[in-house]
Structure formats: structure tokens, C-alpha cells
Amino acid sequence: MDYRIIALDLDGTLTNSQKIITEKTKQRLMDFQMDGGKVILASGRPTYGILSHAKTLELEKRGGYILAYNGGCAVDCKSGEILFEKTLPADVIPEICRLIKSYPVGINTYEDNYIIAGNQVNKYTELEARINGMEIREVGDLADYVDFSVNKLLLQGEPEVIVELEKLLSEKYKGQLGVFRSEAFFLEIVPDGIDKAMSIDRLLGMLDIPTSECVACGDGFNDISMIRYAGLGVAMSNAKEEVKNIADYITLSNDEDGIAYLLKKLKKRSIARPQYHKK
């Protein structure tokens, strides 16, 4: 097989609409690992919210990796070691909490198996908790509560409010923080320079694997950087149009075992290698 490593987004990519990895997709990924391939689970989720899927794919036995918080924390599943991470400057958390206080949005971060929620708890906060299998711990003042390092803040609210806050915060913190939507109702706030491509590049360097031997698959805005970066960038057929427009290949949807279909094609070498990278 030409590709030695596959980086997979979770929601809308690896998992179906019920947030599970189907048996067909699991088996194809197990075969890929048995053939010597490595799996990276690259998600905006916190580490805790990825662990169950890593266990399903036996990454602790096969030597796979987790890139949580959109690449803000890299974990070696076999050893449990944090290979690298980057956290938000402590002083921006109170600032952001003040700026969003009058907006109808929730703000959260993560501590152990809890979502720490401030400002308000809404249906999107509850969705984030369900997706990650975590409990919500509502606090009166998130900035006052947080006395630990934070990899990511997440704002949740109606799409029109999220668009407004994306513009406000990205302009205010340009060159200091990364601010982007992962869903129409989720606004991610991460340390400057953190994205999936940067973290995959760093991990590949540690593993001495060239970019040309990496496949990256996703469906959302936060997957664009790694799809552009990889030797083969793959979009799901259910992906946002912006994602499909920059992909080298479009596979079936997450509800049609799109990852299993891709791996079958790769094993048969029936997908041509890209002649150039889309930038």
C-alpha cells in the first residue's frame, strides 16, 4: 500500500450519523493497521471524547495516535504519553468571557471527563456533551473557575450569533489566537498556529514519514488544512462544499461507509496519486 498513515476526522467522517464506527469501517481500518499502517484520530473533540473510538480501533495495541482539540494535544495511544500540546494564554480567558457575556451563547472548556460550562447552557452545549460522552458542570463564572491549562474554548449558539462572534474575535485576536467554526453553531478558540495540518506535520516528522505517504479525511471547515496538507486529501460526499472543492478525492458519505470504501480503493491502488497539492 502506498500510504502508511491515515488521519481521520471523527464526526461526519469516521462515525456515522449515530456517532458510531460501523463494523465494516472498523474492519477495513483493522486490516490497514495489520498491513503496517498507522491511524491518527484528528478531531476538535477533547481527548476524553476520542478515547472510546481509539479503543474500538485498538489504537493502544496497534500504535495509533490522537490529535485532540484540533491538534492542540497529541497523544501516543500505546504509551499514553502526551507527545506535544499547546494551551491558551491564561489572560485571554477572562477577556473572552467578558466580551461574550451579553451574547446568547454558551462558553465551555474541559476538565477530566467534565464539560465546564459558563454564561449559559443551551441545546448546543448539551449536544457537545452527548457527542463526547461527558457530563456538564455548570459554573457561574468560567474565568473564575479555571485554574488549569486550557487547550481550547468552545462557544455554542445560533449560527447567526456565531458568525458575528467569529468576526469580532478573529479581528480582535488576529495573530494571537485561532478562531474558526467547526459547525455552524460551534466556534472554536485555540492557541495561535494550532490546526490539524500543523500537528500532523509535527507528528509525521517524529515518525519520519513523508507527507506524500499520508491520507487525510474530513468533512468540516476545521479539516480543510489537513486535507490540503496531506499527500492525498479526501472529502466525504457529505462534506461542506468548501471542503470538497479543495480535496484530491471525494469518497462516499459517512452513512455509506465512506472510509471503508476509500481504504478498499487504496488497497487496490485504484486512486491515482495527486500530481500537485492544492493550496
Mean pLDDT within 44-69: 97
Mean pLDDT within 236-262: 97
The pLDDT, as a whole number, for residue 182 is 86
Percent of the chain past pLDDT 70, that is, above it, reads: 98
Q: Domain segments of the chain: what residues? A: 5-85+194-267, 92-191
The pLDDT, as a whole number, for residue 183 is 87
Task: Using pLDDT thresholds of 50, 70 and 90, give the confidence band for residue 228.
Answer: very high
Q: What is the pTM of this model?
A: 0.91
Task: Using pLDDT thresholds of 50, 70 and 90, give the confidence band for residue 278.
Answer: low
Angle (CA) 238-244-248 rounded to 5° is 125
Q: What is the pLDDT of residues 18-38, one digit of tens each?
A: 999 999 999 999 999 999 999
Q: How many CB atoms lie within 10 A of CB 271?
A: 17
Do residues 179 and 95 touch, judged by C-beta distance below 8 A? Answer: no
Architecture of domain 92-191: 2-Layer Sandwich (3.30)
List 38's β-bridge partners, or say none: 5
5-85+194-267 in CATH: which number? 3.40.50.1000
Q: What is the pLDDT of residues 129-166, one digit of tens each?
A: 999 999 999 998 999 999 999 999 999 999 999 999 99
The pLDDT, as a whole number, for residue 1 is 55
